[in-house]
A and B are shown apart, each in its own frame.
Chain A
Amino acid sequence: NAGVMQNPRHLVRRRGQEARLRCSPMKGHSHVYWYRQLPEEGLKFMVYLQKENIIDESGMPKERFSAEFPKEGPSILRIQQVVRGDSAAYFCASWTGSGYGYTFGSGTRLTVV
């Protein structure tokens, strides 16, 4: 049973480009969370999704950021027109919907140059 898979592990984008981050949850997990970790800081909640639904996007910037979790395929976090301040590690976690244990992926480290 593979863990939460995130790709790419490292992503470099020039300012103004688009970044697409992918997260494949654990088998049987239908809940996905995205968190952002800025350098030397803790994790900040961005968005919580279930299959085909956004449950809570209160932590996501209103502009340039979007997330989806389609019926088939991975969850995608999309950042349009990236800026230097978007440079961070983005972590995905999946959950069955009950119990306490999230499972985190290894993250995508985005660098905007």
Chain B
Amino acid sequence: GNSVTQMEGPVTLSEEAFLTINCTYTATGYPSLFWYVQYPGEGLQLLLKATKADDKGSNKGFEATYRKETTSFHLEKGSVQVSDSAVYFCALRFDSNYQLIWGAGTKLIIKP
């Protein structure tokens, strides 16, 4: 079946450190890939997306590239801030279906 696997958290970094949160997927076909962010006590916000292989999604300094050969969509940021502390979810969705299939989420803690 289709699934998303994320690296376990929490991930704890110091401010200005480089961030990578790994996401790999299993899918029969070519889904669109998403990263959502959930700040404490809030709902989920779409952070970025990529709809086909080699696409790069980017927003607020975060980037992720759709790698079909490694079935991955790793989230990166060059210099994290305390305000980036949140839970990050990787998800996939097929155009022919409306459901998002979610990873378990990775909690990110940034220390000043």
Q: Which of A80-98 contact B (CB under 8 A)?
A: 91, 93, 95
> Are A101 and B105 neighbours in the complex by a CB distance under 8 Å?
no
Q: How large is the interface on A (under 10, 10 to 19, 20 to 34, 35 or more residues)?
A: 20 to 34
A-B contact count (CB 8 A): 47
Verify if A106 is at the interface (C-beta below 8 Å from B).
yes
A28 at the interface (CB under 8 A from B): no
Chain B binder among A13-21, A41-49, A60-68, A69-77: A41-49
Residues A104 and B49 in contact in the complex (CB < 8 Å), given A42-B103, A48-B98: no
Which 10 residue pairs across A and B have the least CB separation, nearest first?
A104-B43, A42-B102, A42-B104, A106-B43, A104-B44, A43-B102, A45-B99, A105-B43, A42-B105, A106-B42
By a beta-carbon cutoff of 8 Å, the part of chain B in contact with chain A is 4, 32, 34, 36, 41-46, 49, 51, 89, 93, 98-100, 102-105
